[in-house]
A and B are shown apart, each in its own frame.
Chain A
Amino acid sequence: MMKPKGWRELTPGAVILEAGNAVEFKTGSWRAFRPVWREENCIQCLFCWLYCPDMAVIVRDGKRADFNYDYCKGCGICALECPGKKGNKAIIMQEEGK
């Protein structure tokens, strides 16, 4: 996290010049439940990536990789929307710290 600036150091109009610098703020600590990816049940539908409100599902070259736990807030949308394979979900929610 950056140090708060005094008014003299702010840009005119408090314009933020660095695009997308919110990545410096990690929201992963908000999480109470952690999504766990089970690769063997994954059909690569990418719905988890599409519906994730926190852009916390990593996709490389069109293939799903793991979660980005630095930002995942643990809402569980991915787990609910996951179609899984033969009725077995590829994402399950686990309580943090257990």
Chain B
Amino acid sequence: MECVTVAGLADSWEKGELLDRRELEDARTHALSCPACRSRFGSLLELASRDSVDSRDVGGAGGAGGERATSSPAAEVLADRVMARLGADAMPDRRIVRRFRPGLRVLSAAAAALVVIASVGILVGRGGVDTTVVRFSLEAPEASSVLLAGNFSGWTSDGLNLERTGNGLWEIEIRLKRGRTYTYNFLVDGQSWVVDPSAADRIEDDFGGESALLRL
């Protein structure tokens, strides 16, 4: 392979064109014996070699991984250590019930524009010695349903349907204990989780998203 071909491959990779795996391998072999190409393109070819066209749904960048036929020794060691730490009797936490759907987008751009105002955690009255009634509300004029889920409900939204009150506002009042910290989100139309835009604070959840925080 000529040096100019290696440079051409680098150009193609940068543009996001699909690379031929064999041609890429030839380029890497060439770079091993050509100091100039190794110097300039060695690392780039290493990165580009992670692409494979047959195992990705990529438009543009090729594909890197896909399924591995065998596990590496490092993965075997990792599996041994994870299983040792888990123990034979370990069980997944049954308290967690579909808190977040991975891949869920926090509203599409069109829908996001609808959620412009929200008020949360308004204390509307004392519900007892240790409890208080909290009103949760969200403005989502075009939504067909809005549910509330939080750690106070085990992150299930059963029974916590917000009601449309006019002007695109959805509301629900629930009784919560004082002196506690709550996390919650809204579920719009059964598919889009929305972090309350007016929440005083937010925390990261374990799924790459955020939850609104309410301290009473």
A and B associate: no
